[in-house]
Amino acid sequence: MVRSSSGIVAGLTAAALAAIGFLAYQASADVPGGLGSSRADDSSKTAAAKAPRDKQHPTALPSDSGTGRRVVYSVDDDRVWLVGAGDRVKRTFKVTPGTVDPTPATYVVTSRSGKITGSDGVAVEHVVRFTNVSGVAIGFSAALNGTTSAPASSKKLGGIRESREDGTAMWEFATIGAKITVIK
């Protein structure tokens, strides 16, 4: 009786691809600063100065924060805007930054994790990563215990904490390749 080896080969190929994907993901979290950077546009105007704010409406989307579907993150205001088609704000919310801030520029989402333990030891969900700064992965996440307080650590931490509700909205909005615009 002759057996087909195509099923075995397909299984081995799938296992090898899964292993390569896992190793690539692990390596991306430890890439030296600059190498893992996922800047979509280094000439972004947002890096030069703080985007003007509407003093009458402090939660309004800052002008000069880019165009199109994107996440806008203000490091000075600790605020995020989820911006849909036609530059309409779908949601805005306050966040608590880690101890390492990303440089104002335009990035793309490079990786996501459903549930992990953050570098500060806190269990987090809906992790959306978009860059590395000096070997520190930078991204948004929500603590499973619901806290959004500043990290109680002297370590270099790149997690930008949001509420669980806001974390779910970010998770649904910011898929791999989504644009992240960081402003002052």
Provide, rounded to the nearest whole percent, the portion of the chain with pLDDT above 90.
59
Same domain for 46 and 130, yes or no, is yes
Same domain for 10 and 58, yes or no, is no
Whole-number pLDDT of residue 7: 61
Same domain for 107 and 16, yes or no, is no
Same domain for 86 and 150, yes or no, is yes
Same domain for 100 and 11, yes or no, is no
| Pairwise pLDDT comparison (73 vs 25), residue with the higher score | 73
Same domain for 16 and 72, yes or no, is no
19 class by beta-carbon count within 10 Å (0-12 exposed, 13-18 middle, 19+ buried): exposed
| 155: CB partners within 8 A, 6+ apart | 99, 119, 120
- The pTM of the full predicted model, rounded to 2 decimals, is 0.72
Residue 99's pLDDT band (boundaries 50, 70, 90)? very high
**Residue 89, domain extent:** 32-183
Please count the structural domains in the chain.
Answer: 2
Same domain for 98 and 11, yes or no, is no
Judged against a pLDDT cut of 50, whether residue 119 lies above it is answered with yes
Which domain CATH number covers 65? 2.40.440.10
Whole-number pLDDT of residue 96: 95
Same domain for 1 and 76, yes or no, is no
